Amino acid sequence: MINTNFKNNPVNFTAKLDISEMRNNKKLWTEVVDIFENKTKKTPYDFIVTNSDNRLDIYATTELSADDYSEHCCTLTKKATKTLLSLDADSIAQKFVKLLNIFKHQDKTKVDTLAFLAKLEKADKYHTLNTPRYENDDSIYDRIFYPIFDKMKDDRIVAVEDDFILKDADFID
């Protein structure tokens, strides 16, 4: 399960990788943590890696603003998990860095969209932005905001389509 207690922690300026639930290859995982955290300075995400039924689950969380946070989950296939675990520590860490960059891009897309919509709301003199306008009671706001999740998913699909480990992973946003 995703640990959402990160909101109570002081601001973290390095991505953290929690491997406390990993039981095998402790030396390798310790190296992965060191490499990952060195490569992700000034990127405040918390990653948790667990292994269940020979499949790695990778959880990522970050605070987007004082009242909004983001969480992502990626589950590798058994084959991808086996392949990942056959790599050296630097290559494994690089996969986590790639995931972090994908999640960071998705989160930036969401934050930018919300900032744009907030700007529109502020200038909405005639209060038409949030007024139900379409057959299904969608507003203009809805028609801008919700398709952004489709864009975020499509961006992620394109980002992993050629990656031999991440291409078949299950993602939950």
Nearest CA to 84 among 40, 60, 49?
49
Given this model, what pLDDT does residue 1 score?
38
Helical H runs in 40-88?
78-85
Residue 13 has pLDDT above 70, yes or no: no
Q: In angstroms, what CA-CA distances link 44 with 4, 33, 108, 143?
A: 14, 15, 13, 31
* Averaged pLDDT for residues 123-134: 93
pLDDT digits (tens, 9 = 90+) for 146-163: 999 999 999 999 999 999
Q: Tell me how far apart the alpha carbons of residues 162 and 158 are, in angstroms, rounded to a whole number.
A: 8
Q: Which residues of 52-86 are buried (b: 16+ CB within 10 A; e: fewer)?
A: eeebbbbbbbbbeeeeeebbbbbbbbeebbeebbe
Contact indicator for 117, 145 with CB cutoff of 8 Å: yes
Residue 62 has pLDDT above 60, yes or no: yes
- Which tokens sit at 76? 């590798």
Instruction: Tell me the whole-structure pTM to 2 decimals.
Output: 0.86
pLDDT digits (tens, 9 = 90+) for 36-60: 999 998 889 999 999 988 999 999 9
* Averaged pLDDT for residues 105-116: 95
Residue 65 has pLDDT above 60, yes or no: yes
Residue 80 has pLDDT above 60, yes or no: yes
* Of 7-16, 38-47, 127-136, the least confident: 7-16
